[in-house]
């Protein structure tokens, strides 16, 4: 059985809560990523939230905020669904379906960011198209409501 470690993208690009959202958006564009874990500091790298390209669109552009003065902490999601690297991948897939999320952060016992799993990671690394399709379907249906 595959574990989260087998499927995750290790060492994802992270940001700090005090970072400016313009800088984060530029990093997302340059790295071609949609989610970015938010860590407390660069030494401990403890997960405290996540910010996504959708957060930037909805909470900055959609709410008419000034991107030049808005910090990540003002628009990040603080409650993050996580898994451990040694968890079976089916646990991550179930959590993604249950919580209608497109990515899940992988942390260790100290809540240090170790990786991230996205729908694309499931599709390209699982080699189980039926299970992957079911997860995508569950997330898409819930988000369409």
Domains in the chain, number: 1
> At 52, is the secondary structure helix, strand, or coil?
strand
pLDDT tens digit sequence for 5-23 = 999 999 999 999 999 999 9
Count CA atoms closer than 13 A to 84's CA, side-chain side. Answer: 5
pLDDT of amino acid 145: 40
Indicate which CATH number applies to the domain containing 98. 3.10.580.10
Domain span at residue 123 reads 4-144
- Structure pTM? 0.85
- Check pLDDT > 80 for residue 123: no
pLDDT tens digit sequence for 98-108 = 998 889 999 99
């Amino acid at each position: 059985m595959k574990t989260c470690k087998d499927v995750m993208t290790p060492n994802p690009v992270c940001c700090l809560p005090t970072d400016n959202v313009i800088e984060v958006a530029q990093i997302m564009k340059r790295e071609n990523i949609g989610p970015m874990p938010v860590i407390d500091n660069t030494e401990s790298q403890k997960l405290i939230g996540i910010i996504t390209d959708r957060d930037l669109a909805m909470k900055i552009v959609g709410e008419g905020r000034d991107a030049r003065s808005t910090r990540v902490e003002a628009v990040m999601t603080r409650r993050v669904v996580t898994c451990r690297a040694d968890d079976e991948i089916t646990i991550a897939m179930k959590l993604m379906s249950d919580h209608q999320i497109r990515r899940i952060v992988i942390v260790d016992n100290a809540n240090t960011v170790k990786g991230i799993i996205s729908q694309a990671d499931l599709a390209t690394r699982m080699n189980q198209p039926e299970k992957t399709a079911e997860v995508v379907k569950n997330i898409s249906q819930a988000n369409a409501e």
